[in-house]
Structure 1
Amino acid sequence: MSGDDADCGATSGPCLAPGDVEEWQRRHTQETRHTRYRRCFADYALLECRA
């Protein structure tokens, strides 16, 4: 999370769905007026092996 001149250090922590982190961002913006966020995504792939 970034303020105007430097990172403020706040983090949402892991979220299971995009809507969860977007809600955290909305609340944080209301409390601090910070408007820039860095978001990182990770996913997993499960492959089936055919004999």
Structure 2
Amino acid sequence: MVGAALFLVKEVFIGVVAVALLIGLFELARAFATAGIKIPVLPVATGGTVMLVGS
């Protein structure tokens, strides 16, 4: 699906990458939370998604 999205519809591929970005961010936030480090998830997710869509 990801390969087809890359070659057929750019917007679908951006959506797939945005979902992967958000999943990775939540995993990273959970991993840092075990060490007592708190990441502001909403601003980081917003900034990452806006940069992805803007590119």
Tell me which interval the TM-score lies in, with the shorter structure as reference length. Answer: 0.3 to 0.5
TM-score (normalizing by structure 2) = 0.39
TM-score if structure 1 supplies the norm length?
A: 0.41
